[in-house]
Amino acid sequence: MGARKSTDRSGQTTPNAHGSGKNSRRRFLKAAGGLGSAAGLSALAGCIGSLGSDDETIRIGTLYDNSGELGFTGEGKDAVTEMFLEEQDYELLGREVELISYDPAGDNTQYQNLTRRIIQEDEVDMLFGALLSSNREAMRPIVNENKQLYSYNDWYEGGVCDQFTFINTTLSSQQRPMIEFMIDNFGPDYYAIVADYNYGTISNQYARFYAEEYGGQPVGEEFVPLGVDEFGSTINDIQQADPDWILSLTIGAPQASFFEQAEAAGLDVPYGSMSNIAGTYEHKTFEPPVMTDTYSCFSYFEEIPTERNQEFVEKFKSEYPDFDYVFLSIVDAYTALQLYWEAVELAGTVDQEEVAAAYESGDISVEAPSGTVAMDPETHHATQDMWLAHVDESHEVQFLDVDGNPTDEPISEQVGTSDWFASECQLASESTWDDPITEQYIPEEGDLTE
């Protein structure tokens, strides 16, 4: 919404601005329909399902927060969804595409109700949604119960193995090159600052496992509750442990205060980050030199120097000037749509079972802003290039190769899921539409070693 408003504010009358206006009207009509027919105690309630159910129209649903703590992230995802649909002229297989998007506002009960609504009433052909893993876990039982094709596209710890879910984003296991790089270049002893919940602790397990493989080990680990923005004792503890580098798994803006406080306390240790820069652009929100010598490994950064990406960034920012930085979540939402488009075109239909089969064909591969992204048939996770970004003292980003030299290439190409997960999760061979597997696997101590 903020994005749309700013398009108006910029005074442009480009076709794009016009297009997004058109879409907001569409959304409004949808909303009015929802309100009028009302899930309340009005007897009219039953009629929404049939409202405009033209079989020719393809319906795409998004459930991204537009308000609440992650409202800005969700707005970015909805904005890029609009941009993608405009690029496609709201057409797929020669049929019109309708976008239905709701705002679950970060509330998991809302996620559940709106998932039901978007599946059972709006009868979407494809559902994109959830920001946090907990949002996704709230949605998944309903998605599975209704056999709904579903895309999750926000970075997470990995492990979802689900017949109906297709995932393209950076997984913790894919950040392995960063660990190797840090140990090779700075030394084996690291101190981990970990957001104290699933994403943080599971990613930390991966990090510890890979570090051990490369001969490194943690000299200290601090688990920080979400929302904490006070790091005095942590900084003390780090100074005492005297690590070669710090592994950052801080999540959310309050925890990012760590960097400012570490800088102010005169702590001068390089950061190897699994959670900063790409998704939350701390190098843009903090004044230099707070983030100096942060090394971060993700599938996407705004700064990726390919022509494809620079065009994409320029286009998105000109259409949605509220976004100063094109962050990972935005691009993953865009790539998810690209993958769906390809799968539907391959299947020649939007029939969900057939599209799922197309996803599993092994032929789904798109040129995303981040590079080539392919869908792995067995795990339903994207295979993609990983980039190692280095933030310098003026907060500019360079990409590095294995030896630490600047490069225009990814540090690792076409990275899939971890070996452990690939051996656990074999959806194409073991799961079918009618007898589906719908799990999330969490690595236990020792799982990763085998």
Partner 1 sequence: MSLIESLFGFLILALSHFGKLALIALGLAVIFGIMGIINFAHGEFILVGAYTTAMGYHAGFPLLLAIFVGGLAAGIFGLIVERLIIQHLYDRLIETLVATWGVSLIVIQLVRIQFGGTFAGIHTPLGSIQYGAFSASTYRIALAGAAIVLFASTYAIFMYTRYGLHSRAAMQNKEMAQCLGIPTKRVYMKTFFFGSVLSGIAGGLIAPTVSLTPDMGTNVLVEAFVTVIVGGANVIVGTSLAALSLGIIQAPASMLFGTLGGYLALLITTVLLIRVLPEGLTGVVE
Partner 2 sequence: MDESEHATEESSNPHHWFSHLLDRFDEFHARFEGPNTIGNNRTFWAVFWGIFAILLVYPMIVNTFVLKTNTSFFIWVILALSLSIVWGYSGIFNFGQMATFGLGGYAYGVVAINLTEMIGGTVLALLIGVVLPAVVMAALGYFMFYGQVSGLYVAIITLVVTLMFNLLLTRTSGTTIGDAQLGGLNGMSGIPTLELDVVAFSFDLTPVSEYYLVLALMIAVYLGLRYTVNSYYGYVMIAIREDERRTQMFGYDIRKLKTALFSAGAALGGLAGVLYVSWSGFIDPTMFGLVSASLPIIWVTVGGRGTLLGSGIAAYLLQYTSNELGAMGTGYSFIFLGILFILVILFFPSGIVPALRDRWVAWSTTRKQSGSVQEGNS
Q: Which residues pair with 96 in a beta bridge?
A: 91
DSSP of 208-220, one letter per residue?
Answer: HHHHHHTT-EEEE
Q: Report yes or no: 164 and 436 within 8 Å, Cβ to Cβ.
A: yes
x/- map, 409-448, partner 2, by CB under 8 A = -------------------------------x-x-x----
CA distance readout (Å), 301 to 63, 283, 322, 365, 366 = 24, 12, 18, 20, 18
From candidates 83, 114, 262, 391, binder to partner 2 by CB under 8 A: 114
Q: Report yes or no: 161 and 437 within 8 Å, Cβ to Cβ.
A: yes
Pick the stretch among 9-17, 206-214, 221-229, 296-304 that binds partner 2 (CB under 8 A). Answer: 221-229
User: What does 113 interact with, of partner 1, partner 2, none (CB < 5 to 8 A by kind)?
Assistant: partner 2
User: What does 240 interact with, of partner 2, partner 1, none (CB < 5 to 8 A by kind)?
Assistant: partner 1
- 279: DSSP letter: T
CA distance readout (Å), 344 to 126, 134, 238, 381 = 10, 28, 51, 17
Phi, psi angles (nearest 5°) of residue 388: -105, 115
Q: Report yes or no: 96 and 102 within 8 Å, Cβ to Cβ.
A: no
Q: How many CA atoms lie within 13 A of 317 on its CB side?
A: 12
User: What does 256 interact with, of partner 1, partner 2, none (CB < 5 to 8 A by kind)?
Assistant: partner 1
x/- map, 1-20, partner 1, by CB under 8 A = xx--x---------------
Cα separation, 113 vs 160, in Å, equals 22
From candidates 15, 46, 52, 215, binder to partner 2 by CB under 8 A: 46
User: What does 264 interact with, of partner 1, partner 2, none (CB < 5 to 8 A by kind)?
Assistant: partner 1
Residue 75 vs 244, nearer CB to partner 2: 75
User: What does 242 interact with, of partner 1, partner 2, none (CB < 5 to 8 A by kind)?
Assistant: partner 1
Asked if 310 interacts with partner 2 (CB under 8 A), we say: no
Residues engaged in binding partner 2 (CB under 8 A): 1-2, 27, 30-31, 34-35, 38-41, 43, 45-46, 49, 66-68, 71, 75, 101-105, 107-110, 112-114, 116-117, 119-121, 132-134, 137-138, 140-141, 196-199, 201-202, 223, 225-226, 440, 442, 444
